Chains A and B, each alone.
Chain A
């Protein structure tokens, strides 16, 4: 009776076992890689807008304060986007007929709002509140990155829940003096100062990781 299997099957059999393990771990690793890849997180991926608004120009170049446009940021959950009126305060004077600004003038003329594409988009079941973070000394750049270096706005953090929790676990590393909240400069983590600010702002860390803080 001829041999049913060739010799190589002797090596093939144990090899297949190893292969399966490799395949599985590769799958897991791949999954992880995708989830944290810029494709999925959209970190550093500029979002196209009707008007190619440049934070770099307006913030770094002209030195306009964040609050000039994002008026709600200190009082409301929603930082707010500037009304067309706000744009026109300047652009009725300067760059009056720059083709780039045509949509703004259109909106002003027709009364139709500008359609901005969201850059930072949290799920509906997450209730983030800008005002309290600002009040307690979390700087803009902690979440939004160096917008003064962004010609087009892009996410600079994943906004994954684990990322939120990292800070809610140890806020002291991300706190800054009130007067530096809107300042575009990175902070060097400083244990002592952080703890001091924590006490100064009367931040109660115990409930910062409660589900109820963000989910309702």
Chain B
């Protein structure tokens, strides 16, 4: 799958998985921070949920939150990691 398509698909999956009913894929810029104010405003429970998403959709195992923090910065970093480590 091309990177652009993957980015769009990931955004849809994030919206669905985290039930972000007010958000569209178009409103999530590739470099918009996932966490904290000014970004998508996700929190620590969401980071655990995103680790589950990566596991279920892409077969990626992230051992713990410290590792997760480096991956879960924005859509760009997530897609980069998926492309390198996906098993699905």
Q: Do A and B come from the same complex?
A: no
Q: Which B residues fall within an 8 A CB radius of A?
A: none
